Amino acid sequence: MGGGGSDGDGYSDWAVLPCPPRLADVSLALVGKVGSGKSATANCILGDDAFESKDSYRAVTETCQKRSREFHDGCATRTVNVIDTPGLFDMDSTAEDVQKEIAKCMDMAKDGFDAMLMVFSAQSRFSCEDEKAIESIKLLFGNEVLDHMILVFTHGDVVGGESRWKKKLTDSAPAYLQDMVDLFADRVVLFDNNTSDMQQREYQLKNLFRAVDFVISRNHGRPFCNQMFTQIKVIQC
């Protein structure tokens, strides 16, 4: 009768327990300018120094790279694939360079990416170059990519916290950025890649994946796939 004993066939009662549920794999593509904190954000998601990252005015990531991590959330498990791209919108990047790296990113994503993380630095003034970066993404991928996009602002440690940062956005951000924040609403995340506070790291990761799951649900589980990119290129040509 003991609850922890064996049954008549010699199997432990634990053997009949179901395996933890496995959630669908998630693929994230990170894009942004040099110095935005893109690679540091990728490392923060992965929980280690998978990608080279340092403060620099020159690109540290020179080509698309992909790393994966398995997350355990309660009883569920999911694999998260992170694709880090080079600074695609810098002065020395040609249109051909950008298209080549974007194509490589799509190939790495295989079945497509579930969310594109557009990374900016919260400590820097949102500039015309930042605006052009978003417009370039729309030009390369088409407006549909906005449905898969999440805005990530790094350097959360120097802007005085989330509430103060959001107030600053509302009060003094350029009109273009305010419009984007209003458009994305639940898909705007502040990140502190330098914190050693594990609770803070867990909190911001939960915020990020809440936004990722929102994007997945909004798109009915349909990722932005290579076929979409090919169709966009045909239309543009």
Residue 226 and residue 106: Cα distance in Å, rounded? 6
- Say what the pLDDT of residue 150 is: 97
Residue 47 and residue 189: Cα distance in Å, rounded? 18
- Say what the pLDDT of residue 218 is: 94
List beta partners, residue 237.
none
Domains contained in the chain, CATH given: 18-236 (3.40.50.300)
Residue 42 and residue 82: Cα distance in Å, rounded? 7
Please report, in tens digits, the pLDDT of each residue of the chain (237 residues total).
444 444 444 444 434 445 555 567 899 999 988 888 888 899 889 887 666 544 444 444 567 889 998 887 767 788 999 998 877 666 566 667 777 777 787 788 878 899 999 999 998 889 988 998 899 888 888 889 999 999 999 998 888 888 888 888 888 899 999 999 999 988 999 999 888 889 988 899 999 999 999 999 999 999 998 666 666 555 555
pTM, two decimal places:
0.80
- Say what the pLDDT of residue 228 is: 63
Report the phi/psi class of residue 178: left, alpha or beta, with left for phi > 0 and alpha for psi in -120 to 50. alpha
